[in-house]
Amino acid sequence: MTDSKRQQPISYSNDTPSRQQLLYSAQQWANIDTVLLDMDGTLLDLHFDNYFWLQYMPSKYAEQNGLHKDAAHKILKQASDETQGTLNWYCLDYWSNRLNMPVAELKHHVVEKIQYRPYVKDFLGMIKQQGKRAVIVTNAHRDSVDIKMTKTGLDQRVDRIISSHDYQEPKESQEFWRHLQNDEPFNINKTLLIDDSQAVLRSAATYGFKHLLTIFHPDSQKEPNTQSEHPGIHHFNELFHKDNLIG
Ligand SMILES: [Mg+2]
């Protein structure tokens, strides 16, 4: 999709399930045969990741290096800003080396914060019942994916999980989608991508995806944000209009 065809930013502040029906009528929904789903902030509550990186890690880094927590927070923020949008930003090995901390192991300490987002189990059940293919496409490192699958059993509810680390390209890169198309063939006219990242949706739109949805409320502990270049939903029940209900 070219820039000129891209949708202008729209605020869906008055979004309701009835409005969402206009985005996907029964006929349009029936035309979708594959749903590509982001993991963190889409299927799982982004609160875990925000808590881990913005609270737990700074406090552990401060403890390890004899720093005040504010100073540790500043160092981690700067390191994060330097790498954002690259595969390293998502790579636990990179952070373990750079910070000299066992990041994957530390995640296990706060594993109770890993939670499904609302209505996700019902939504994935509906997709399965309708015979659509459900594939997780995540920028998360495989170690992080494993921790989350062990805690939630999410892997039992989808057909396949692809980490961008498998291709050594983040979803923000066009190369990621080319790898995906070869590895997991999909009809771009019948494939819906749901992702809470505007940068990822922009990358997917550039590649040529026609059906894109964002998540307005990725972190349950923060206020929703409805400013988006793409249509979106607060929760998956907004895709459950009467024609889509299970049973
Ligand atoms: Mg995400």
Architecture of domain 3-45+115-244: 3-Layer(aba) Sandwich (3.40)
Per-residue pLDDT of the chain (247 residues), as tens digits, is 333 334 433 334 444 444 444 568 888 899 999 999 999 999 999 999 999 999 999 999 999 999 999 999 999 999 999 998 888 998 999 999 999 999 999 999 999 999 999 999 999 999 999 999 999 999 999 999 999 999 999 999 999 999 999 999 999 999 999 999 999 999 999 999 999 999 999 999 999 999 999 999 999 999 999 999 999 999 999 998 555 444 3
Distance 71 CA to ligand 1 centre (A): 27
Distance 45 CA to ligand 1 centre (A): 9
Burial class (CB in 10 A: 0-12, 13-18, 19+), 229: middle
Q: Which residues pair with 44 in a beta bridge?
A: 40, 116
Distance 34 CA to ligand 1 centre (A): 18
Radius of gyration of the chain (CA): 18
Q: What is the pLDDT of residue 247?
A: 38
Distance 15 CA to ligand 1 centre (A): 21
| pTM exceeds 0.85 | yes
Distance 40 CA to ligand 1 centre (A): 4
Cα dihedral 102/107/109/113 (nearest 10)? 170
Q: What is the pLDDT of residue 241?
A: 57
Q: What is the pLDDT of residue 24?
A: 80
Distance 138 CA to ligand 1 centre (A): 7
**For residues 164 and 149, what is the distance between their CA atoms, to the nearest angstrom?**
16
Distance 65 CA to ligand 1 centre (A): 30
Q: What is the pLDDT of residue 223?
A: 96
**For residues 89 and 85, what is the distance between their CA atoms, to the nearest angstrom?**
7
Distance 57 CA to ligand 1 centre (A): 19
Distance 66 CA to ligand 1 centre (A): 32
| Domain ranges (residues) in the chain | 3-45+115-244, 47-112
Distance 198 CA to ligand 1 centre (A): 9
Q: What is the pLDDT of residue 240?
A: 84
Q: What is the pLDDT of residue 170?
A: 95
Q: What is the pLDDT of residue 8?
A: 39
Distance 83 CA to ligand 1 centre (A): 16
